[in-house]
Structure 1
């Protein structure tokens, strides 16, 4: 299908979130008819409507809102936040897709999805993958590594503003990747999914880096020194909890840090560039474009 063909309609869930909003914009740019599923009508969802998306209100935990959202679409992007309910949502989404027929599901998993993980989220994500596989629907799993947007999270940003990359990662490495680049790849796969059905696609940034190397990249992008400091997983989790992060996400972070150190988020690939023709954003480039936030100017 050419990028000017608007005969294909796609559903994008989490449409006001990081990957979802990027996917909406890039899918519209490809000429796809986009149905954007949101929890509520607000300024963010109205902005998607202004871009040309059809905005529908729904809840992935309520199949009677999922079914009408997915009906009459050719492909659908399924994403769920790191919070309780993923398996329930995956069952609903698979059932709705089976009832309506003809959908390819693009599922945002995570690099660390693992049946044996100490993280509840990693185990739930693995089971959600299996649920979608068992369902018999056409599915593609995406396994991104850590997001560049991690640097902007409230348990990371204040320390970066003080010149510290403070995280219990040891010497673990990952090819950190941006939500914008993922959204670009998601849109490409929604447009032309066929050759990828039944596969699991890792999504990575341009280089595999340790946190020490990320600190050097942040320094380069911000023009000031950022030093990596490595607390214990207990210290880091206590900090995350004190910020007010949901207990489910806090447990995930606490359990994931030792696994990160053991290489569970490792690996490098050029899948985003192969899918989109665009090299993904580097840490230094991300820091430069978000310098006003990372430097405390916004």
Structure 2
């Protein structure tokens, strides 16, 4: 007897990324066939292969490659690349989606997406929302989380290995969602897009916390002293460059940190989106910390301690980025009258009812 899977095949872009790979895994667990778009066949794509995904190499800036990759799929999770020309990728995606007649798109956006934001990436995300919403005959759902848990816990190795927890956001608060909870919401939306079409969903964690509050939970999980301290921006910029973070990403993050300090991520948080859409509450922060603390890069081994010690001591000697010079060199458009979202009447009117 041949069993036929009548569930629609779902396309996932950014499939090796932090939310993308979780979306792939969760869709497969629920029995949906998945075509995962990857940049190249490597160890990360091989992990998706082993899960049962169909991995396809495609350039997200090439309309023919994207249209070919979409053939035979019915729904899509679109995760825009964090790159200066991301808007071109979105135009390619929209053109290909129209050509193959996709039925539904869940687009990953951003809580701070705004037409007048100082971050080019954030302004482009706002434009992408408009582009996706304007595709005729396609059920579009906007998934717009705020500042992820991952943005804090990507530094957990310093806490685990050196007893230090650098903080960029001071005592301002957020209810940050995990990658896994964002993916759970995305999967629920992809499973039933007609029910949610035309709506926006911002998944959050269950509790408002400052990074100093988080440090207390990290101490508890690690069972060792952790010194939390405000990290100067110049030092973070050098550390980020040392870890291979691009100038464009760092340039965007400087504005998100300011959004955080001004209360943009506390606004409207926490909410019940994760539980209402998925039927289960969001993960608590301690559970997420335990997962990160168990990851290979954070384990208390001699090799990891040595690596962390060397990296930490290299930071003062690593050159930072000339972020304004980068924008000029690459002819990136600069907003003439930029507004952070918490002071934008337009943004607040668009988001206050969400």
**TM-score of the aligned structures, taking structure 2 as reference length:** 0.76
Kept in 2, the 8 Å contact 1:35–1:53? The answer is yes
Q: Give the C-alpha shift of residue 159 in structure 1.
A: 5.4
Kept in 2, the 8 Å contact 1:25–1:51? The answer is yes
Kept in 2, the 8 Å contact 1:90–1:128? The answer is yes
1:135 aligns to what SS in structure 2?
coil
1:141 maps to 2:142:
yes
Please show how residues 201-212 of structure 1 align to structure 2 within 5 Å.
201-212=201-212
1:116 aligns to what SS in structure 2?
coil
CA distance in 1 between counterparts of 2:180 and 2:140 reads 22
Residue 272 of structure 2 is aligned with which of 270, 288, 295? 270
Unpaired segments of 5 or more residues in structure 1?
A: none
Summarize the Cα distance change of 1:53–1:141 in structure 2 as closer, same or farther, 3 Å threshold: same
Q: Give the C-alpha shift of residue 234 in structure 1.
A: 4.3
Please list the CA deviations of residues 125-181 of structure 1 after superposition, one character each: whole Å capped at 9, or x if unmatched.
11221222233343111111222223453x664356322321221222111111122
CA distance in 1 between counterparts of 2:119 and 2:66 reads 28
Kept in 1, the 8 Å contact 2:153–2:289? The answer is no
Larger mean Cα displacement after TM superposition, 250-259 or 237-246? 237-246
CA distance in 2 between counterparts of 1:71 and 1:124 reads 27
1:126 maps to 2:126:
yes
Q: Give the C-alpha shift of residue 5 in structure 1.
A: 6.0
Tell me the residue number matched to 2:283.
Answer: 281
CA distance in 2 between counterparts of 1:238 and 1:290 reads 23
Structure index of larger Rg: 2
Please list the CA deviations of residues 187-214 of structure 1 after superposition, one character each: whole Å capped at 9, or x if unmatched.
2211111111111110112212111111
| Runs of 4+ displaced beyond 6 Å | none
Kept in 1, the 8 Å contact 2:177–2:282? The answer is yes
Summarize the Cα distance change of 1:260–1:244 in structure 2 as closer, same or farther, 3 Å threshold: same
Larger mean Cα displacement after TM superposition, 260-269 or 286-295? 286-295
Q: Give the C-alpha shift of residue 65 in structure 1.
A: 1.1
Unpaired segments of 5 or more residues in structure 2?
A: 305-354
Summarize the Cα distance change of 1:225–1:103 in structure 2 as closer, same or farther, 3 Å threshold: farther
CA distance in 2 between counterparts of 1:41 and 1:28 reads 19
